[in-house]
Amino acid sequence: MNVRRAGPGDRAMAHELYTDFFAENPPPPHDPETLEEELAELDEYLASRIALIAEADGQPAGLALARVKGSSVGYISDLYVRPAARRKGVAKALLAEAVRLLQAQEARQVTLNVDVKNTLARTVFERLGFREQSVHLVVEAAALEARLAGGGAGETFGSVHVQTDDAAAVERAVRQFLPRIGTSAGTVFSEPRNGWVAVYDELCDREPSLLRRLARELSDRLGAVVLSIGLEDGAVVRYVLFDQGRVADEYASLPEYKGPLPPGDVVAMRANPTVAARLTGADPARVREAAPSGVSASELPAPAELLARVAAVLGVQGAEHGYPRGTTHPLTDR
C-alpha cells in the first residue's frame, strides 16, 4: 500500500474516490451540499491544501483531505476508504501522513467531525486519543419557531416504576446512584402499588435523559423490569421499558417530534405489544390500542389523556404526575 500527496494532476482519481464517498455518506438534511459543490471544494484541496490518496495493488483505495485552521489547529475534513480496502490499515496510514504534513505546517492540535450515530468511527477515533470537545445541535426551523412561540413549551415530567414489592431495596439503589449524577434535590418513593414501586425525583423529573439513566441503573442493579414514563414539552408521551439494565421496548407518541428520523428508528419508537405483555402482563391488544404513534399531535388523543391510558394498560399507578412540587423529601431525611 502506498500513501501519497495528490495534486491537480490527480483530479480524475480524487473525484472518483470522493463520488464514492458522497454516495455512501450523503450530507445530512440540515447541510444539503451538492456533489458538485463538494467536488469544487476538493479541487481547492488538490491545488493548495493537503490531499492524500492511498493506493493498494495499483488501485485507488482511500482519500484524506486536511488543512490548517487558524495558526495551530489541523483539521481533517474528510477521510474515506473504499469498502474492499477497509480493516487493512489504510485509514490509519492516511491519518498518519495527514498528521505529519499538518505538523510540518505547525499544527499542534488535530480536529475532525464525525456523525454522532457513527459509533464505529467514534470508537476508532477515541482509541486514537480524540476527545469530544463540542456537540453540534440541529433543529428544524419550523419546530424551533413553534417552541419559541410557546407551542412546545408545555410541561415536562416523568417517573420511574420498578417491578417489585421491595420498596426498601429500591430506595437503597436510588440512594447509591443519584449522588453520581449530582442531584441534591428531593426524591419521593411510593409504597408498592399493583406490584410496582414508583420513584419521583425532582431533578430527573425535569430532564428525561436523566430519568432514563435512573431507570436503566435501577434495572441493572436490581435485575428488575423498570419503566420510565412521562410527558415531554406537554406534547410527547414517552416510555422506555428496561429489563436487567437493557432497553427492551421504547415508545414515543410523536417519534419525529425533534426532527426527521430514519424509517427504522421511527418503527423502533412504536410500542411493541408482545414485549410489553411479556414484561408487564399487559394485554397486547390493549397496548396496541392505548399507545398509538403519529406525525402530529392532531392525530392523537390529548397528551395527558394518552399518558393516563398508556400507564393504565401497563399496570402502573401515579404516572400521570411527576415530582410533587412544593414539598421536599430529601433522601437524607428519610
- pLDDT at 184 > cutoff 50: no
Closest CA to 241 of 290, 280, 267, 203: 280
- pLDDT at 334 > cutoff 50: no
- Looking at residue 133, its pLDDT comes to 85
Give the DSSP per-residue string, 222-277: HT-EEEEEEEETTTEEEEEEEETTEEEEEEESSTTTTS---HHHHHHTS--HHHHH
Q: Select the more confidently predicted residue: 258 or 269.
A: 269
- Looking at residue 262, its pLDDT comes to 82
Indicate the class that CATH gives domain 2-127.
alpha beta
Q: What is the DSSP letter of 181?
A: G
Whole-model pTM: value is 0.56
- pLDDT at 272 > cutoff 50: yes
- Looking at residue 332, its pLDDT comes to 34
Sheet strand arrangement including 236-243: 187-189, 197-201, 157-162, 225-232, 236-243, 246-252
* 144-153 average pLDDT score: 61
Closest CA to 1 of 75, 56, 61: 56
Angstrom distance (rounded) from CA 324 to CA 210: 18
- What average pLDDT does the structure give for the chain? 87
pLDDT band at residue 308 using 50, 70 and 90 as cut-offs: very high
Whether the Cβ atoms of residue 266 and residue 228 lie closer than 8 Å to each other: no
Instruction: Identify residue 64 by its one-letter amino acid code.
Output: A
- Looking at residue 28, its pLDDT comes to 65
The helix (H) or strand (E) run that includes residue 92 is helix 90-104
Of the chain, the percentage scoring pLDDT greater than 70 comes to 90
- For 208-230, what is each residue's pLDDT tens digit? 999 999 999 999 999 999 999 99
Angstrom distance (rounded) from CA 62 to CA 52: 8
- pLDDT at 183 > cutoff 60: no
- Looking at residue 147, its pLDDT comes to 63
**Tally: H helices and E strands in the chain:** 12, 11
Q: Which part of the chain is CATH 3.40.630.30?
A: 2-127
54 pairs with which residues across the strands? 3, 62
pLDDT band at residue 333 using 50, 70 and 90 as cut-offs: very low
